[in-house]
Amino acid sequence: MTEYVSHIHPVAAILVHAAIPLTIILVYALVAIWGERKIAGFIQDRLGPMRVGGWHGWAQSIADLLKLIQKEDIIPTDASRFLFKFAPFMMFAASYAAFAVIPFSSAYVGSMVNIGVFYLLAVTSLLTLSIIMAGWASNNKWSLLGGMRSAAQMVSYEVPTIASVLTVVLVAGSLNLMTVTEMQSGNDILGFLPNWFIFQNPFLIVAFIIFFISILAESHRVPFDLPESESELVAGYQTEYSGMRWAMFMLAEYADMLLLSLLGATLFFGGWNSPFGDFMAGPLWGFFWFMLKGLSLVIVMMWIRWTLPRYRVDQLMHICWSILIPLSFVNLVLTALWEVIF
Amino acid sequence: MLEVISKETGNKEMVINMGPQHPSTHGVLRLELVLDGEIITKVRPNIGYLHRCFEKYAEQMDDYAKVIPYTDRMDYVSAINQEHGYVIALERMLELEVPERVEYIRVIMAEMQRIASHLLGIGAFGLDLGAFSPFLYLFTEREKILDIFERVTGARLLYNYFAVAGLMRDVHPEFKTDTAEFVKTFRPKIKELNDLLSYNKIFIKRTANIGVLPEKVALNYAASGPVLRGSGVEWDLRKNDPYSIYDKFDFEIPVGTGEVGTLGDCWDRYMVRVKEMEQSLRIIEQALDGMPDEGDVMEAIPKRIRPKEGEIYVRTETPRGELGYYIISDKSASPFRVKARAPSFVHLSMLPAISKGSLIADMVAIVGSIDIVLGEVDR
């Protein structure tokens, strides 16, 4: 498909490649926001949205979106106007741009770059910048505190994320996410298990656990949702935002969550590979399996959110610097040894 | 941005307002924080946003009984307990005998209210620390209590149910079975709460060794209720200065143990409340057994209340601590003076003493653990 589109016209190709992830993100965000509220309701013995649209309030997110579009766009008097307006879009752009290298199915990846993993990690670092931008530009002390916390948190947690991703890269020997996925096809482990990296050696299981904890922190989910912890910092860097700009933050947050979950699915759970070998395989089934794996991780993240309390900022740093980072590097070295021996 | 240079450390400090519209100040409390980074160097609670002149209103009433609805509005989370203290004060002034059935119903209601209040306090405390679901589980239970209250009193929050030497109306015939049913279903929920929240690793990390209130400081500030007991002092007015018929019941006073951290930290104060709910259940069970089925709850209510000239101070144990009413009578139909000693007010005053040097996140935990109700602080 990639080749087919680029035969028509280069600009058309770019537009098509930009539209596909955008559609996926928008549809996903509408479903995920509704889904999160439903899951929260299920966990908390209540119903969640039930009215809008008839069946279990399925249209709630659409109604919310329409409401947010109509809201007045408030910019605080002493805010740094340009940065204030720019920050939400930059945040969304950062996670959106990273979708370019995600292989959605065996037939489709936005851009087949050899340094896919590297590009993805680099682009998502821009999220930190946009959050600091939002926190500083709001000219609000709570926002500033939220922004600073977020910067500290994301910079710290990038280290274990990258170290655990490196573990996979070490085993796969490639930074191209498509190649990484292709290496995981087949069902050879113990005769029936798929060749996913998580089953391939014990250190990759540890790597996945570190990776998952780190992406919880990277995407600001409980128990690491300190930048926007509503009971301490009011709403963190989002305090002064309203209407559509606030919606952009929400969208970016959900997009980021999906992005990191999909990355996890690609690196550890075989990406678009079917768990049954050749059965139910193929480009469309591949997309189905890929989204299923990614969304399962998203649901686990939601489940954790509605169960656990929140860490304090110094405890969060402690977990990162004195537990996860040493562990992830030891794990990296051990994986390298395993690769040499077997 | 307002910045000050600290005289001690020379660091730039930031002055920040927490409240009055902050989500975790439990109402309209304003805390003026001076921050060095995220570390609090100074706290100043600013109160008065919910001041409704309770004491002045009480003097303006032309009847002592008309003050009762106003007592409800002091601590709106435990309205029954607020009424209880006031009616006891009047009964002692008038030297009235209270019928036994009335006393039993009062104790059951007061203990149910104590559970409801603790459920809210604990739930909101968890919410402050980011645990959303326990809050809603506890609210489901609180709802059941409020349903029982609604059937008894007709109201869900501000009851105006106790009268001098009586009750406004009798309880409905199924009151006993309803309450017994609640006691039965609620007991296992406390264990569930302990599994989900109390012994949760993150929760312990957030509350143990935070906001430590040593016994001596607690006594110096005249703390009472769960806050004092959290510091290990066995002091409960229901046992130490029994009022109503509390001397008839067998129950324990839970105190802080320092089980997971230091004695008198936020977790201890939290745990005292959890254990108190169990003790309240014990009292309710005993009271349900001993409650007489027959008797008019309104027969002893005096037609007009004219206490002799004099004064009285009556203290009762509310879910928040020692609530004292100091009433002066000048023989007229309206009280000369009604002064309420509110536990939340006293507890709020020790906030600067226990929160210095902590982080903003700890501040939230500390405010949550002393469980203030701003309606009572400001009156």
State the CATH number of the domain containing residue B369. 1.10.645.10
* Shared-domain flag, residues B16 and B108: no
- Which among B38, B127, B203 has the least Cβ separation from residue A313? B38
* Shared-domain flag, residues B25 and B131: no
Is residue A249 predicted with pLDDT exceeding 60? yes
A208, A178 Cβ separation under 8 angstroms: no
Buried b (16+ CB within 10 A) or exposed e, A76-106: beebbeebbebbbebbbbbbbbbbbbbbbbb
pLDDT band (50, 70, 90) for residue B198: confident
Which residues of chain A does B200 touch, with a Cβ-Cβ cutoff of 8 Å? 308-309
Helix (H) or strand (E) holding A119: helix A116-124
B32, B46 Cβ separation under 8 angstroms: yes
Is residue B234 predicted with pLDDT exceeding 80? yes
What residue in A sits closest to B360 (Cα-Cα)?
A: A232
Q: Does B130 touch chain A (CB under 8 A)?
A: yes
Q: What is the mean pLDDT of residues B81-107?
A: 88
* B259-307 residue pLDDT tens: 888 888 888 888 999 999 999 999 999 998 888 888 787 887 888 888 8
Lowest mean pLDDT among A8-17, A169-178, B134-143: A8-17
pLDDT band (50, 70, 90) for residue B97: confident
Q: What is the pTM of this model?
A: 0.83
pLDDT band (50, 70, 90) for residue A6: low
Residue B295: C-alpha distances to residues B101, B102, B166 (Å): 6, 8, 11
What residue in B sits closest to A46 (Cα-Cα)?
A: B136
- Which among A40, A234, A312 has the least Cβ separation from residue B361? A312
* Shared-domain flag, residues B13 and B42: yes
Is residue A3 predicted with pLDDT exceeding 70? no
Please name the residue that has the structure tokens 């405010």: B367
- Residue numbers of the domain that contains B21: 2-46
B244, B86 Cβ separation under 8 angstroms: no
CA A55 – CA A57 distance, rounded (Å) = 5
* Shared-domain flag, residues B213 and B361: yes
Is residue A326 predicted with pLDDT exceeding 80? yes
Helix (H) or strand (E) holding B337: strand B337-341
> B24, A309: Cβ pair inside 8 Å?
no
* Shared-domain flag, residues B137 and B8: no
Task: Tell me how close the Cα of B101 comes to any Cα of chain A, in angstroms.
Answer: 37
Q: Which of B315, B273, B281 is nearest to B126 (CA)?
A: B273
> B133, A307: Cβ pair inside 8 Å?
yes
* A263-300 residue pLDDT tens: 999 888 888 888 877 777 778 888 888 889 999 999 99
* Shared-domain flag, residues B283 and B352: yes
pLDDT at B98: 86
Q: Does B203 touch chain A (CB under 8 A)?
A: yes
Pairs of CB atoms within 8 A across A/B: 75
CA atoms within 13 A on the CB side of A112: 12
A222, A308 Cβ separation under 8 angstroms: yes
* A112-150 residue pLDDT tens: 788 888 888 888 888 888 888 888 888 887 888 888 888
Q: Does B143 touch chain A (CB under 8 A)?
A: no
* Shared-domain flag, residues B32 and B161: no
Task: Tell me how close the Cα of A249 comes to any Cα of chain B, in angstroms.
Answer: 20
* Shared-domain flag, residues B36 and B100: no
Average pLDDT taken over every residue of chain B: 86
pLDDT band (50, 70, 90) for residue B52: confident
pLDDT at A229: 63
* Shared-domain flag, residues B258 and B199: yes
Identify the burial level of B56 via C-beta atoms within 10 angstroms of its C-beta, where 0-12 means exposed, 13-18 middle and 19 or more buried. Answer: exposed
Q: What is the mean pLDDT of residues A97-105?
A: 86
Is residue A177 predicted with pLDDT exceeding 80? yes
Q: Is the peptide bond preceding residue A223 cis, with omega within 30 degrees of 0?
A: yes
ipTM (interface predicted TM): 0.76
> A312, B132: Cβ pair inside 8 Å?
no
CA B16 – CA A7 distance, rounded (Å) = 59
H helical segments located in B129-211: 132-153, 175-193, 201-207
Please name the residue that has the structure tokens 């805390």: B31
Interface list for chain A against chain B, based on CB atoms closer than 8 Å:
40, 43-46, 139, 141-142, 145, 149, 222-223, 225, 229-234, 306-315
Identify the burial level of B361 via C-beta atoms within 10 angstroms of its C-beta, where 0-12 means exposed, 13-18 middle and 19 or more buried. Answer: buried
Which residues of chain B does A307 touch, with a Cβ-Cβ cutoff of 8 Å? 133, 196
Task: Tell me how close the Cα of A148 comes to any Cα of chain B, in angstroms.
Answer: 10
Number of domains in chain B: 2
* B344-369 residue pLDDT tens: 888 888 888 888 788 887 888 888 88
* Shared-domain flag, residues B107 and B253: yes
* Shared-domain flag, residues B18 and B114: no
Q: Does B133 touch chain A (CB under 8 A)?
A: yes
pLDDT at B2: 55
pLDDT at A2: 54
Secondary structure (3-state) at A177 = helix
Structure-token pair, residue A322: 């004195």
pLDDT band (50, 70, 90) for residue B242: confident
> A230, B197: Cβ pair inside 8 Å?
no
* Shared-domain flag, residues B313 and B236: yes
CA A144 – CA A137 distance, rounded (Å) = 8
pLDDT at A172: 85
Q: Which of B267, B280, B290 is nearest to B238 (CA)?
A: B280
Under DSSP, the state recorded for B307 is P
